[in-house]
Chains A and B, each alone.
Chain A
């Protein structure tokens, strides 16, 4: 159900400290104002006339990563990230949109992504299954797509591609650009409907959450009737278990850690699948980071990489530092955006970065 009134949420969160310890932005900045209760209190205080939106307060509002870790750890399921996105929307409506957000909006409207590269306008094919490609897998870390497609084919799936080069709508929805988000999401849904697919495969936890939750809760959009959203890693894990996909052990990776991708916390049932797949090729359970599973912190591939690159970089440093602390030589994940961020900074930490889909595709038995 779409959330349209954020006041009860910010009022609940403004003094609650129960999720602050899992907030990744709070963790890297150590500032109370950059934590869930800080954002809740800021929004609630603006409503009470104690502080006003201006360049500095808007900057604080835009420091939330919209990663979902607070809500995933909330016993009463407070949708604070949605409340923050709504507050951003109201700031934009009040004519206080930060310049960097305005620039992003222009690019998203023109290209459907923040990379300034046009999304595909090719007609989509009819198929029983569709795969949402998105913008990161097209423009930020493209080897994941081919690898995922070859793995799906091995497991008997040949999907029609949709959203090639186009954002899922998460980025503009995070930034409070609801009109832009809606038009991008509608374009993705139109392509999905055109394929006639009943199963929609997605390459990352973020894309899963976009289609399975965000479209409904934040944008008021519904998927075509009867469409099931499936994360490729979960599907492949099932295929490996049933013997439809056979994998062999890989060499030379050293000690591997799995990095939960951005938004992984929002998809509670997905934590085991990528670990099982990685464990199969590395010959045992991967090393676990400290910030993992339901408390997993994202790397820098959130809206912050465009709006607050300093915080975004610190999120990535923190993941790599986490990997180093547990003695990992290689960090592995399937999310293209996460891979791109990790790869940007990994050399400084002496850690290798490896795409999970590529690793699996290279080790099909």
Chain B
């Protein structure tokens, strides 16, 4: 790439900070860092269309180096895009405005594992699975098991407020974080308080959770960890009626039976996904439920749950299908088992309260299926992250024969998404539960937040007055 005089000067400044080996303007790097795990970026390249590329990629080795990079970028008003695992599905790591991509993966050290307080401190570019392996050596686990565990970084899933398979008991990533170190756009390095629960003023650290790199770069975090549970009891059930299955999940949660997982597939997912990946041919709604921890307590919780399932007419499929699901829970995301191009697909997941969830599901299904019937759209969903008050719906649309033309395809993709998100809003749902907003859903942020959106914009302006941090994401503009 020809950087020009200014670009070369900036590159030299960046090299002074991180060293020549850790600055790249190579075409291959620019190509690879131009995409992430979002359908729109992948489709764009698949159709032979180039994406906006970063001008330069830097690989800092310390928070101080990141601070110096920020000072350079802020001084020259150059966009900065933090890049962790690149596993975001909403285009949050796309360098839509060029600029500097800051790959955080050299910051991967585990700083401390505290076996007494059950917390681990690591640099935030560490891949989740590597942190997990290190904890497992000590009989511990970080109870954040996202499907992206192999590829998402600690900073990445905190910045996107990600969740994992066992969030129903252990919480989302944001619930597990205790403290963070963050580099602000002006290069200041700050720390949030050492403990998450106190009454010492507003919890300003929360502003960086879900900010997707628009407010600063998370460089270190301390998270709560657990002992690897002594027992994990899983089993599967089949419900003829989705309504009863949702009610079963609600009762488990509101009676605080503390399942670590409830995964409920709708009939379409059961017939397609469950069959394709697990090999079971079933009609109805397939549910996996699990209890863990002390074997006696987990067994008792499971017994109580079984009584509820029985009351609601569920068919007990036994342990094997539950354990099989657990052992293969990430297989759904390996191509060609995963949804993949040239198909069009999108995960329009959302979350709402128990009183609204069923109506929301049917309304979305109807809206998407009826509006896009001519495109042969399929709508599938599962309910996977359960709270005391409600549940997330992880729903997806699939069009197997989308338009060939990239722009036409993206337009249709956006329209389907609009239909789905509007249906969510009309039934009390959020833009989403855990995939973040990124580039894809920024246009819905103002709709979601109403007048409160201006407050968020003011905060963004106060923290990043020059608008250098990840421009164009979560609706903040450049």
A residues adjacent to B (C-beta < 8 A): 11-13, 15-21, 30-33, 37-38, 41-42, 45, 48-51, 56-57, 60, 74-76, 78, 290, 295
Contacts and interface: CB of A to CB of B under 8 A. Distances in A.
Given A21-B130, A31-B24, A12 B336 contact: yes
Interface of B (DSSP majority class): loop
Contact of A76 (B83, B129, B335): B335
A38 B59 contact: no
B129 A75 contact: no
B66 interface: no
B28 A76 contact: no
A231 B340 CA distance: 39
A135 B339 CA distance: 45
A113 B87 CA distance: 42
Contact of B151 (A17, A42, A60, A76): A17
A21 B45 contact: no
B133 interface: yes
Contact of A18 (B133, B150, B336): B150
B31 A31 contact: no
A12 B340 contact: yes
B150 A17 contact: yes
Interface stretch (B32-40, B203-211, B287-295, B352-360): B32-40
B103 interface: yes
A19 B28 CA distance: 20
Contacts, number: 100
Given A17-B150, A33-B26, A51-B31, A45 B45 contact: yes
Given A15-B37, A75-B331, A48 B28 contact: no
A30 B127 CA distance: 12
Contacts of A37: 32
A51 B28 contact: yes
B423 to A, nearest CB: 28
Nearest to A31: B29
11 contacts: A15-B42, A21-B130, A30-B59, A31-B29, A38-B32, A50-B50, A56-B27, A75-B334, A76-B336, A290-B133, A290-B137
Contact of A21 (B35, B150, B335, B340): B150
Contacts of A78: 335
B28 A21 contact: no
Nearest to A73: B150
Given A17-B150, A18-B330, A12 B335 contact: yes
B16 interface: no
A49 B45 CA distance: 10
A50 B29 contact: no
A32 B24 CA distance: 11
B441 to A, nearest CB: 20
B32 A32 contact: yes
B48 interface: yes
B45 A17 contact: no
B31 A41 contact: yes
Contacts of B105: 30
B337 interface: yes
A36 to B, nearest CB: 11
Contacts of A49: 48
A42 B31 contact: yes
B134 interface: yes
